Amino acid sequence: MDAEAVLHGQIRKPIATWGLLLIISAFAVAPLFPVDQRALGYSAWLSLPLGALGIGWTLATGLVYRRGGLASPLYRTLNRGETIVFLVICLAAVTESGNPASVVWLFHFAHVVTCGTSGGERRFNLALFTLLPLVPIVTFTVTQGLAAGALVTAIAGIALYAYAVMSATASRLSETQRDRDRLEAQLTALTISKERARIARDLHDGVGAELSSLFWQLQSLRAAATTPEAQASFDTLTARITQSTDELRNVVWELRATSLTWPELLAHLRTRCLELAGGEASVKVVADEGETREIPGDVRMHVARIVQEAVRNAIHHGRARHLELRLSLGDVLRVEIEDDGHGIAPDASRRSVGGLRNLDVRVKSLGGVFTAAPRVLGGGTSVRAEIPLLPPTMPSSTVA
């Protein structure tokens, strides 16, 4: 959050608003009390209507800010108007007082400090603090001579200089804060990337090595087994370890690759399809080869999971022997997998609580559209996913 947003948030707090209203009220009713009128210099005929204008404008501006915030165009307009109103109140009181060194200049300087520390509306405020004081300057010069006009010019000039310095400083501080926030985000991303790489390395070298050791131990025990039942049990355990190793490789890949180019993603998907198919099926991959864009990490991770789950389901549950994977990249990344297996029921996607349901959640979490239905011709299943490369902000979903 930059300096301007912080300042507006502070001055629009209820306690700050009430404090400002108290100051305006004191200015408005001061001539009604037995004070030194020569020191004060302005009358209730001026202060009461101007004070009412200032109070009403402040309340309206605060109400619009609470409803629409700093980004509201109406708030921006009212805030500019509030600056004009306060400046007119101060300069009108100074002019009526007939005193070029009126105490009301203190209110003017407080106003200048408030506007200057925000750093916003700089050109507008510079023009305002330059042009409006010309009215009292000319008035005092005509009515009281060059000396009075010069004094008013000096006071207004000091206020203008103070605003220029403070607004420039606030603007630089805001830029510095944005640079700091950007560097912090980059440092956080780098730290996360290093930690992901460390976790991937530990999983590969630790858990991966243990699974490999268990696999070969089971192979040895199976060779020594004397009954078909024992050999079948060892085969089941070996298959589960192989599947766990395969899943571990996917996790390590996802941790290491925060983003990939389109050709790199295609290469990975081709390799995974061959590994999943093994000798049981053939997978034909058709894709746009001319694209070189980088695919964001969350998109490429979900695309890899979608392709893997769809291919695995087609081979192991649908008993498919021929599959075709089509991928295209434009404003939308399209994935389509068709197979010649047993097929699925028309409402299988809606009734699913496992694989197809997970695929649907993954695609929708990226703002996309997912469908799974029987093929119209030739039997089998058709799975389609369309994922926008710039998805809208959506609540995250938990994927099993």
Predicted pLDDT of residue 257: 64
Angle 246-334-349 (CA atoms, 0-180°, nearest 5)?
A: 70
In the prediction, which pLDDT does 150 show? 94
User: Has residue 240 been placed in a domain?
Assistant: no
Domain membership of residue 278 (yes or no) is yes
Q: How far is CA 43 from CA 27, 38, 288, in A?
A: 10, 11, 80
What does each of the 400 residues of the chain score in pLDDT, given as a tens digit?
555 677 778 778 888 888 888 988 988 888 888 765 666 778 888 889 999 999 999 999 989 988 888 888 998 899 899 999 999 999 999 998 888 988 889 888 988 888 887 767 888 999 999 999 999 999 999 999 999 999 999 999 999 999 999 888 888 887 888 888 888 888 887 787 778 778 877 776 777 778 778 878 887 887 887 788 888 888 888 878 877 877 777 777 667 666 678 888 888 888 888 888 877 888 899 988 888 888 887 788 888 888 888 888 888 888 889 999 999 988 889 999 999 888 887 777 677 656 788 888 888 888 899 988 888 777 888 899 999 986 444 443 434 3
The region, left, alpha or beta by phi > 0 then psi within -120 to 50, assigned to residue 332 is beta
Asked whether residue 272 is assigned to any structural domain, the reply reads yes
Q: What does the pLDDT read at residue 2?
A: 58
Q: Taking the model in full, what pTM does it have?
A: 0.54
Distance CA 384, CA 96 (A): 77
Neighbouring-strand partners of residue 370: 385
Indicate which CATH number applies to the domain containing 303: 3.30.565.10
Q: Are residues 180 and 264 in the same domain?
A: no
Predicted confidence at residue 326, as pLDDT, reads: 92
234 inside domain: no
Predicted confidence at residue 92, as pLDDT, reads: 92
3 state SS of 285: strand
Asked whether the beta carbons of 318 and 334 are under 8 A apart, the reply is no
Question: Residue 296's pLDDT is what?
Answer: 80
> What is the domain count for the chain?
2
- Residue 118 Cα to chain centre, angstroms: 23
262 and 181 part of one domain = no
Altogether, the residues listed in the chain come to a count of 400
Q: What is the pLDDT of residue 336?
A: 92
For residue 390, the model assigns a pLDDT of: 64
pLDDT for res 55: 92
Tell me if 390 is assigned to some domain: yes
Residue 326 β-bridge partners: 286, 336
Residues sharing a CB contact under 8 Å with residue 25, sequence separation 6 or more, in sequence order: 51, 55
Q: Are residues 278 and 132 in the same domain?
A: no
How far is CA 366 from its chain centroid?
15
Q: Is residue 332 part of a domain?
A: yes
Which of 153, 186, 219 is at the close of a domain?
Answer: 186
Which residues form the domain of 269?
A: 258-400
Q: What is the pLDDT of residue 400?
A: 38
